[in-house]
Amino acid sequence: MIKAYLIDLDGTLYHGRHRIEGADKLIHTLNEQGMPYLFVTNNSSRTPQGVADHLNGMGIPADASQVCTSAVAAAEYVAQESPGAKVACIGEEGLSQAIEAAGLTLTDDEPEYVIQGIDREFSYHKLTKALRWINGGSKSVMTNPDLQLPSDDGLTPGAGTIGAAIEAATGVHPTVIGKPSSIIMKSAISRLNLKSDEVAVIGDNMRTDIAAGAAAGCETLLVLTGITTRDNMDSHIQATKVRPDHVFEDLHKLIEWLSQTTSQASKKG
């Protein structure tokens, strides 16, 4: 029985600054049902409060405590492995704040870890520092493997593109935290204090959201509002070797299913 949901953002609830039809109603429906949920995003540039502000600005109710970013998950991963570790940050505000909030020490001097996310001021100088740190023994951690990011004026390079440059320079494959890795999903599930088979993942991307949900042992709900469409779904299934448990044409169809599922559960109870 599903007791909570992990919800993707870009492509599922919005496109950039534009809300997807039904996104606000979806969250209102979950709130009315008293159903717990978290927003899970590969975005490492925004803080949880920044993500919540972005959602609220589009009329989608959100609180920072409901947001799980790849930056927060990466920082928590390192803090669990090595509490108080010295960490070099290649990233933006969302990542540096997450590192400090996890009780880790930000440094450029012989770090034990290099945590890398999206960094729109990435340079040859930063690549050189990452090369020397990692070749000197620092562990390499990447917030998320997204190669491209959508923007208002077209695609831009993502954290995965920067990570590819660092991996090419060092020959070291990083520990990847964000989707399709199960690490970020397990981090979110632990915050809900539930078992993975009690949680369902809602997302638009077979290669990230649905693959990560399946890897974590969650039920998966694909909405055809973003990356994966009816036309490319089969190729995504072949690429991921994963098939979603449920497929919905839009958020309104998902909401109908949620209402039916809740009604059936109430009758059984």
Instruction: Tell me the catalytic residues.
Output: 8, 10
Going from the C-alpha of 83 to that of each of 77, 101, 103, 176, 187, the distances in angstroms are 10, 12, 7, 19, 16
Q: Are 64 and 51 in contact (CB under 8 A)?
A: yes
What token pair was written down for 104? 């880790």
Asked if 39 contacts 51 with a C-beta cutoff of 8 angstroms, the reply is: yes
Q: Count of CB atoms within 10 A of residue 222's CB?
A: 27
Closest CA to 175 of 74, 261, 69, 68: 74
Could you give the CA distance from residue 201 to residue 218 in angstroms, rounded to a whole number?
7
CA–CA separation, 171 and 164 (whole Å)? 10
Rounded CA gap, 84 and 183, in Å? 20
- C-alpha 10/C-alpha 46 separation (Å) is 13
Which backbone phi and psi does 217 adopt, to 5 degrees? Answer: 85, 20
The residues with which 202 forms a beta bridge, in sequence order, are 7, 221
Helix, strand, coil shares of the chain, percent, nearest 5, are: 45, 20, 35
